[in-house]
Homo-oligomer: A and B are copies of this chain.
């Protein structure tokens, strides 16, 4: 008759409710799996390191060239393709012909001092030849020559599919004083070093290896690597810690998931690129190599929760009141229904059966025992960080 109902996680669940038959004035509420405490948003520390070498024509790119920023934080990007403009200098040259009002036939077409928002610099007022073409555009003061004209588009670093990123993550749940890291520590020291040097993360075969192949990350995020090389993209690496601290904390291990964070279907606005420059001094004149870098940016995002559930029956409360068994039944019904929520299906137990449990199963002194247990909460799991100051 009673439909399946569910219990709230935000309250201690009351699974039993017993009227002590010899003490009609005393009723006892019992929880079989009292939800004790939980914590989300652990403190998290990320360290990242890219590894791998790419060959580009006669050039070799190592991680110093393709990874940035260099400090190894929770956001790290790898260059996949470069549009390079060599040897720009401050000077005057022809504006890009697609910039508004840049085309001209005589100086009077160019307003001196004008700066177009989508242009590259300030117009000098001259109309000049567009580099080695036959048409003319307004001359500008700028970093010359302009990128659009002088850019050299390099092919993609296809080897980047085999680059790996080492991700070290430590989390700390302050409430539970639990510290965990994502690096396998069950192996011996020498075997571990060897393993960590060679291994590559795989959900099935190497779930605790912290080296992630870019190709694996892309495929897990269901992205084509060659497409990423073309447009760039931002991929989230989600590290998820879901720790049941009733178990030995060594069971608390992370799982990983991967998802593209810039929406691919919105072609014009997806992708990831950034520009930077290398500066040189040539005969006292500053010059720069401008690099427009398409790449993968990895955003390492950590989610965590830890909770303690006690599997031991716990007396939530006991009440002494001048009441009859009838009232007791009402209140027992009532407590069961107040703790209703939709998170967990409660269907196996009916109150009626429970109420028929022999009262002598719950001796009065159990109250004290169980409540002392609650009092010692927090001390039944030792800190994992032996020797590590927390």
Seen from chain A, the residues whose Cβ lies within 8 Å of a Cβ on chain B are: 1-5, 10, 12, 36, 41, 43, 45, 47, 49, 51-53, 55, 58-60, 62-65, 68-73, 75, 77, 90, 115, 117-122, 141-143, 159, 162, 168, 170, 172, 179, 181, 183, 185, 189, 192-193, 196-197, 221-222, 234, 236, 238, 259-269, 272, 274-282, 284, 286-288, 290, 297, 299, 301, 316-317, 319-323, 326-327, 329-331, 333-335, 337-338, 340-342, 367-368, 371, 374, 377, 385-390
Cβ-defined contact, A333 with B316, below 8 A:
no
Taking the nearest CB of chain B, how far is it from the CB of A137, in angstroms?
16
17 more A-B residue pairs beyond the given contacts A60-B122, A181-B263, A189-B268, with a C-beta to C-beta distance below 8 A: A3-B371, A43-B238, A45-B261, A47-B234, A49-B274, A53-B120, A62-B120, A71-B75, A71-B297, A72-B274, A181-B269, A183-B269, A185-B266, A263-B385, A264-B387, A317-B337, A323-B326
- Residues from chain B with Cβ under 8 Å of A288 in the complex: 64
Taking the nearest CB of chain B, how far is it from the CB of A174, in angstroms?
8
- Residues from chain B with Cβ under 8 Å of A260 in the complex: 388-389
Taking the nearest CB of chain B, how far is it from the CB of A125, in angstroms?
14
Give the residue of B118, B181, B331 whose beta carbon is less than 8 angstroms from that of A330.
Answer: B331
- Residues from chain B with Cβ under 8 Å of A327 in the complex: 330
- Residues from chain B with Cβ under 8 Å of A268 in the complex: 189, 192-193, 196
| Identical chains bound together, number | 3
Task: Report the Cα distance A10→B90, complex, angstroms.
Answer: 62
Taking the nearest CB of chain B, how far is it from the CB of A322, in angstroms?
6
Cβ-defined contact, A262 with B371, below 8 A:
no
- Residues from chain B with Cβ under 8 Å of A68 in the complex: 70-71
- Answer whether A280 and B281 are a contact pair too, CB < 8 Å, given A221-B389, A268-B189: yes
- Answer whether A60 and B120 are a contact pair too, CB < 8 Å, given A71-B68, A170-B262, A331-B330: yes
Q: In terms of DSSP, what is the predominant structure of the interface of chain A?
A: mixed
Task: Report the Cα distance A121→B56, complex, angstroms.
Answer: 11
Cβ-defined contact, B55 with A141, below 8 A:
yes
- Answer whether A45 and B334 are a contact pair too, CB < 8 Å, given A141-B55, A269-B168: no
- Residues from chain B with Cβ under 8 Å of A185 in the complex: 266
Can you list 25 A-B pairs with a CB-CB distance of less than 8 A? A3-B371, A10-B10, A43-B236, A43-B261, A47-B234, A47-B272, A55-B115, A55-B122, A58-B141, A60-B90, A62-B142, A64-B290, A117-B162, A170-B261, A170-B262, A170-B263, A183-B266, A183-B269, A192-B268, A265-B387, A279-B279, A282-B284, A319-B334, A323-B326, A335-B338
Cβ-defined contact, B342 with A377, below 8 A:
yes
- Residues from chain B with Cβ under 8 Å of A64 in the complex: 275-277, 288, 290
Cβ-defined contact, B53 with A263, below 8 A:
no
Task: Report the Cα distance A66→B52, complex, angstroms.
Answer: 26
